[in-house]
Amino acid sequence: MGEGYISDLVSCFVFEKEGPFQHIVHALKYKEHTSLGRDLGICIGEAMKDNCLEVDILIPVPLHRIKYRERGYNQSEFIARGIASTVNKPLVLNAVRRIRNTQTQTKLK
C-alpha cells in the first residue's frame, strides 16, 4: 500500500452491513428512489460548505451503457445534482465515459 496522507477528507455517512445507510443506498440504486440521491448530495454539499471544501465542477461517475440501460438512470448523477445545487457549482455530465462493463462491487470480496 502507498504511503502518505489524505487531507480534506470529510465523511458524511457510515456504511455498515444491513445498517440504515445501506438500505438508503439500495433504495436509491435498485428501487428508483432517486430523490434520495439528491438528498444525499445536499447533505454532502452542506458538509463541504461547513468544512470549507471547494470544487470547481462536479462530475458524476458514469455507468456503463449496458448497466445504464438495465437501471434506467445513474444514481451518482442524482447525488452530484444535490451537491451542485448546494455548493452552486456546475455539473458536467459527459466529461468522462465508462468504457468497460466491470463486475458489480457487491459481488467482490
Report residue 33 as a C-alpha cell: 428512489
Average pLDDT value for residue range 23-28: 93
Which residues, including other chains, have CB under 8 Å from residue 53's CB and lie 6 or more apart? 8, 10, 47
The yes-or-no verdict on residue 1 having pLDDT over 60 is no
The yes-or-no verdict on residue 107 having pLDDT over 90 is no
Alpha helices by DSSP H, listed for 1-109, are 20-30, 34-50, 65-71, 75-87
pLDDT digits (tens, 9 = 90+) for 30-83: 999 999 999 999 999 999 999 888 899 999 999 999 999 998 999 999 999 999
Report residue 32 as a C-alpha cell: 428508483
Rounded CA separation 89/58 (Å) = 7
- Angle 42-48-54 from CA coordinates, rounded to 5°: 120
Look over the chain and give the mean of its residue pLDDT values, rounded to a whole number: 90
24 neighbors 36 (Cβ within 8 angstroms): yes
Radius of gyration of the chain (CA): 15
